[in-house]
Structure 1
Amino acid sequence: MSVTPAKNSAQTSRRRGIALGAGVLTAAVLLGVFSYTATKPDGASSSSSTSSAASGDKPAAEVSSDPQEGAYAELEKLARRDAKDPLAQGRADAPVVLIEYADFQCSYCGKFARDTEPALVKKYVDDGTLRIEWRNFPIFGAKSEAAARAAWAAGRQGRFWEFHEAAFAPGAKEKGFGAGRLDELARTAGVEDLARFRKDRESDAAKRAVDKDREEAYGLGATSTPSFLVNGRPLAGAQPEETFTQAIEAAKQAAE
């Protein structure tokens, strides 16, 4: 998982963010603790503003067998369940919604996209149990912002998930996210109208959409990527598949 220090823009976003009830504030604290613990190197001081990532295979939080424990109703309401959302996959009325806050420059987001998400799609999305909703959470500067807007623009032509796959392919991040590279990723993703793609990614609508997602994440207290909600249960980091499976099964049980 990748971590970034809070910046002035982040503080502004948090102030303007969603109104948090007591339960949401508690969950935000948990999410922040999980985020730091998942990436804190051995012997690191809690005063460190940044940290190098430890193994992404180590779970950052235990998932209780109690389907209600660790889940917050106010966080569950963040699921948009818009059947026309191109940045989501799975039935809008699926009993479980996994929300992912991620950055295309984040190595651990790529790890989740390549190693874990396909298995979850095959096991739970395809049978109607799970819906996955992506939130753009660019925290590593201009290139992250550009990639987020480009992904949104690809979604305008129904190719978000194909762009997502191309951007998270092995070695893709190292090639950068300059304008030419974004066009290349769009072609790989099967985006048909490149002129429209370029116009859309530079549009005010793209900026507003990305800002909305980012403010939602900061409003939760998230400062690292990837961060997740599973029916209102916070999880952070490129957790093992088993951790997500446990959370999804518990959420499914609670929804029955």
Structure 2
Amino acid sequence: MSKKPYVIGAGVAVAAGLLAFASYTATKPSDTVAESSPSSSSSSAGPESGVYPELERLARRDAADPLAVGRADAPVVLIEYADFKCGYCGKFARDTEPQLVREYVEKGTLRIEWRNFPIFGEESEAAARASWAAGRQGRFWQFHKAAYAPGAKEKGYGKDRLTALAQEAGVPDMARFARDLDGEEARAAVRKDQEEGYGLGATSTPSFLINGRPIAGAQPLETFAAAIEAAAKAAPTAPATSAAKAAR
């Protein structure tokens, strides 16, 4: 698979290098907090604190994004680059993400934005497109849950299996799902996310940005909690949404 560059802008090289290094060294859960996670007392923003404004601006904050959960104006945005064939992505989805949703998303502090980052071949690409197609009918997160259920990865993501997962997720129009899955719009959407991840220097999944702070691997809940709380403390009171950005 070619790894096409995604140009983000000047000043990202150091951050991309950090994420690439973190991806190389933290592709599995760690028993300790990752080096890229903040200290509990950190509230400053900038490279010296591991926060990169260029990366923070990758948050789309689109209220209509079906691949996101949480308020568009939440003070903290967690961007996840993940692959449905990634075992550690599944671990994060089952063990950590639901707790983040309860503790931070439901309270309005956190927004989670998914980026399809398929790196394990054709089935990964197909599952990514299927998730996007499910999202077109408002069932992305239900598909995400079904695709990351225990044992789901071992069954593969062939065409029949993706259809079964969409049915399990409650996708109402399966004919439309099939068209969207194989359509150019799905391919373009997945390619956009994928190239964004490669441009950041991500080499493994899952990889994360929390208000511009790179974290790699299915780290312990405490790593994410510390990063979210530090980001919330440092965040401006009214982050720009996609509509506000477009009006500028």
Query: What's the TM-score, normalizing by structure 2?
Result: 0.90
Deviation at 1:57, TM superposition (A): 4.5
1:62-211 alignment, distance < 5 Å: 62-64=37-39, 65-67=41-43, 68=45, 69-211=49-191
Deviation at 1:116, TM superposition (A): 0.2
Q: Does 1:60 align with 2:34?
A: yes
Q: Indicate the percent of aligned positions where both proteins have the same amino acid.
A: 67
1:252 equivalent in structure 2 = 232
- 1:20 aligned to which of 9, 21, 29: 9
Contact residue 82 and residue 89 of structure 2 kept, 8 A: yes
What is the CA deviation profile of residues 125-177 of structure 1, one whole-angstrom value per residue up to 9, with x for unaligned ones?
Answer: 00110000000000000000000000000000000000000000000000000
What is the CA deviation profile of residues 93-146 of structure 1, one whole-angstrom value per residue up to 9, with x for unaligned ones?
Answer: 000000000000000000000000000000000011000000000000000000
The code of the aligned residue for 1:20 comes to G
What is the CA deviation profile of residues 25-84 of structure 1, one whole-angstrom value per residue up to 9, with x for unaligned ones?
Answer: 111111111111114xxxxxxxxxxxxxx5554543242331221111000000000000
2:242 equivalent in structure 1 = none
The code of the aligned residue for 2:22 comes to F
Contact residue 33 and residue 222 of structure 2 kept, 8 A: no
Equivalent residue pairs, number:
230
Q: 1:56 to 1:87 in 2, by over 3 A?
A: same
Contact residue 103 and residue 136 of structure 1 kept, 8 A: yes
The code of the aligned residue for 1:133 comes to E
What are structure 2's unaligned runs of at least 5 residues? 237-248
2:216 equivalent in structure 1 = 236
Contact residue 38 and residue 59 of structure 1 kept, 8 A: no
The code of the aligned residue for 1:66 comes to S
Runs of at least 4 residues off by over 4 Å: 54-58
Q: CA RMSD in A?
A: 1.2
Quick one: distance in 2 between partners of 1:188 and 1:157?
Answer: 14
Contact residue 68 and residue 113 of structure 2 kept, 8 A: yes
SS of corresponding position for 2:26: helix
Quick one: distance in 2 between partners of 1:146 and 1:134?
Answer: 16
Quick one: distance in 2 between partners of 1:116 and 1:110?
Answer: 10
Quick one: distance in 2 between partners of 1:238 and 1:180?
Answer: 29
